[in-house]
Amino acid sequence: MDLTELASLRSAPVPPAAHLIDGTRRAASDGATMDVISPADGRRLTTMPRGTGDDAQAAISAARRAFDDGRWSDLAPAARKTVLLRWAGLIEAHAMELAVLGVRNNGTEIGMALKAEPLSAAATIRYYAEAADKLHGEIAPTAPATLGLVHREPAGVVGAIVPWNFPLMIGAWKLGPALAAGCTVVLKPAETASLTLLRIAELALDAGIPAGVLNVVTGEGSVVGAAIAESRDVDVLVFTGSGATGRRLLEASARSNLKRVYLELGGKSPNIVFADAPDLDEAAKVSAHGIFRNSGQVCIAGSRILVERNTHDAFVDKLAAVANAMKVGDPLDPTTAAGAINSHAQLEQNLDFVAEARQAGRRIVTGGTRILEDTGGFYMAPTIVAGVRPEDRLARDEVFGPVLAVMPFDTEDEAIALANGTDYGLAAAVWTANLSRAHRMVRRIKAGIVHVNTYGGSDMTVPLGGVKQSGNGHDKSLHAFDKYLDLKTAWIKL
């Protein structure tokens, strides 16, 4: 990491942000702005447009025109590839600038932000760019008197609504395949993490992505997001965020044009530790980071640890030792292991879960409090709660903060019942040296991804998506293209 560059960027003034619509920077139609508060110190970082329904409509119209006139969708896929590769290169060249801006905006620790945000976004865009000219149609195995051709066509205008925890990484998971497929996009970033997505959209123009192909509108979800969801000119809606918003998007689709809606929602992911794990120290270290990195603000966070009873107490001690050794604080200090909580509201929500657990008599093994309040920022100590019961809110509902629920189990069947006993099904892990048990558990756990003897870190080659109320559809891997391509059959009499 270039510490000199980091030092010069960390307090650089951030000019007021603007929407990017039809290739131009624009203020809100009524001139309204909203403050961007840095969670690192609670101070105003800059302002951005408080977008209106008219702004969303202007962006949708621009994306519609850009799609319909073929300036992007009718390019040879190899030509789109060239432009997208140039864009990935520009994002990489601006990685430190983007990472620091992102950290000041959303609070993620810089070590993780640099890799997981600009560098991961660049890698994602490159992955889909390279795939753009390798997507073939099909010739169906028909009788000789007919020819059945299956075309794959770009689906049209994509509305993309993304959250604040990893705006560039998650944004790129949508933008990469959508743009490589030939779609145009209206992107709505989260209120508390818009700045870096606006910046990479400017870089997209520099790379040669035509005006109107990628539009970004900032503001409130209930206004800008809702206008995108209700639009009859948006063909596909892709979303990462909370279940409550996901439900609203499905309703909006039903009320408007039945646009396809793909949801990546939350999780309460079980991390199951058997006493025969190959290395319990390693399991504790990786598991602690699996919940506490980015202060638990990770959709796949392993927020429930289920431990075989005969190793429970020793394992909780190991977890606590790792948690207590983690440095929480200034997200722009490269030695920080966990940065700030994204917003004051999120911090309060995290503390409410702990207060409830404490009141119910659960054991707060470590943490449980706000820390570093004198900085003005929003920080919370990594928190472990033991003795959590399946009926507790902490066992069922997503905190989206650095709060780990620990529960003991005696048998494989009991572990499965606990693991599958929530409305969610996003991620899971199993720690065991028993190969047969590992495969049995992978089959029986209801989740989009099951890790074995590790947690997190899956790369672009594999899909990520939830089952049950964690969502539908998949980001990452070539499967992500399915969301952005329509199948069309040509049935030809010969």
**Which residues form the catalytic set?**
264, 299
CA-to-CA dists, residue 141 to 44, 148, 482, 487, 489, angstroms? 62, 8, 22, 16, 13
Select from 52-60, 142-150, 157-165, 272-280 the region that touches ligand NAD (CB under 6 A): 157-165
Beta-bridge mates of residue 428: 450
Decide: is 176 part of the binding site for ligand NAD (CB under 6 A): no
Q: Examine residue 265 and tell whether it contacts ligand NAD (CB under 6 A).
A: yes
160 lies in the site for ligand NAD, by CB under 6 A: no
Q: ∠347-352-354 over CA atoms, to 5°?
A: 100
Closer Cβ to ligand NAD, 110 or 341, answer by number: 341
CA 328 from chain centre, in angstroms, equals 22
The least distance separating ligand NAD from the CB of residue 24, rounded to whole angstroms, comes to 22
Taking CA 364 as the corner, what is the angle to CA 358 and CA 365, rounded to the nearest 5 degrees?
170
Smallest distance, ligand NAD to C-beta of residue 441, A: 21
- By CB under 6 A, residue 471 contacts ligand NAD: yes
Binding of residue 8 to ligand NAD (CB under 6 A): no
**Number of Cβ atoms within 10 Å of the Cβ of 233:** 18
Q: Please report which helix (H) or strand (E) contains residue 234, including its range.
A: none
Taking CB under 6 A as the rule, does residue 229 contact ligand NAD? yes
Provide the token pair at 27: 């203020």
Q: Which stretch binds ligand NAD (CB under 6 A): 61-69, 188-196, 205-213, 358-366?
A: 188-196
122 binds ligand NAD (CB under 6 A): no
Q: How far is the CB of 228 from ligand NAD (least distance, A)?
A: 7
To ligand NAD, the closest distance from the beta carbon of 304 in angstroms equals 14
* Binding flag, residue 468, ligand NAD (CB under 6 A): no
Give the C-alpha separation, 339 to 40, whole Å: 8
Q: Of the listed pieces 62-70, 224-232, 433-441, 483-491, which binds ligand NAD according to CB under 6 A?
A: 224-232
Q: Which is nearer to ligand NAD, 384 or 427 (CB)?
A: 427
Query: Smallest Cα–Cα separation from 383: which of 347, 428, 408?
Result: 347
Residue 260 near residue 178, CB atoms below 8 Å: no
Tokens of 428: 């899971």
Would you count residue 245 as binding ligand NAD (CB under 6 A)?
Answer: yes
Based on the shown chain and the rule CB under 6 A, indicate whether residue 348 belongs to the binding site for ligand NAD.
Answer: no
Choices 137-145, 258-266, 284-292, 428-436; region in contact with ligand NAD by CB under 6 A: 258-266
Smallest distance from ligand NAD to CB 294, Å: 10
Q: Count Cα atoms within 13 angstroms, Cβ side, for 149.
A: 9
Structure tokens at 196: 């870096």
Q: Is 241 in the site for ligand NAD (CB under 6 A)?
A: yes
Identify which of residues 267 and 290 has a Cβ nearer to ligand NAD in the complex.
Answer: 267
Do the beta carbons of residue 456 and residue 278 sit within 8 Å?
A: no
3-state secondary structure of 19: strand
Phi-psi region of 12 (alpha: psi -120 to 50; beta: other; left: phi over 0): beta
Structure tokens at 15: 């000019």
Give the nearest distance from C-beta 426 to ligand NAD in angstroms. Answer: 6
Would you say 123 or 132 has its CB closer to ligand NAD?
A: 123
Note the residue count of the chain.
494
> Is 266 one of the binding residues for ligand NAD (CB under 6 A)?
yes
Compute the Cα dihedral for 130, 482, 265, 187 and give only its sign. positive
Q: Which of 117, 264, 308, 392 binds ligand NAD (CB under 6 A)?
A: 264
Q: Is 226 in the site for ligand NAD (CB under 6 A)?
A: yes
Q: Contact between 128 and ligand NAD (CB under 6 A)?
A: no
Q: Of the two residues 132 and 341, which places its CB atom closer to ligand NAD in the complex?
A: 341
Candidate residues 191, 235, 330, 392; the one interacting with ligand NAD per rule CB under 6 A:
191
Q: Cβ distance 488 to 153 under 8 Å?
A: yes
When the beta carbons of 23 and 159 are compared against ligand NAD, the nearer one is 159
299 binds ligand NAD, rule: CB under 6 A: yes
Tokens of 484: 């952005």
Q: Does 411 bind ligand NAD (CB under 6 A)?
A: no
Where does 233-386 have alpha helices with state H? 243-255, 280-292, 309-325, 344-359
Residue selected from 21, 398, 403, 460 as contacting ligand NAD according to rule CB under 6 A:
398
Buried residues in 24-53 as b, exposed as e (16+ CB within 10 A): eebbbbeeebbebbbbbeeeebbbbbbbbb
Interface with ligand NAD (CB under 6 A): 161-165, 170, 188, 190-191, 221-222, 225-226, 229, 240-242, 245, 248, 264-267, 299, 398, 400, 426, 466, 471
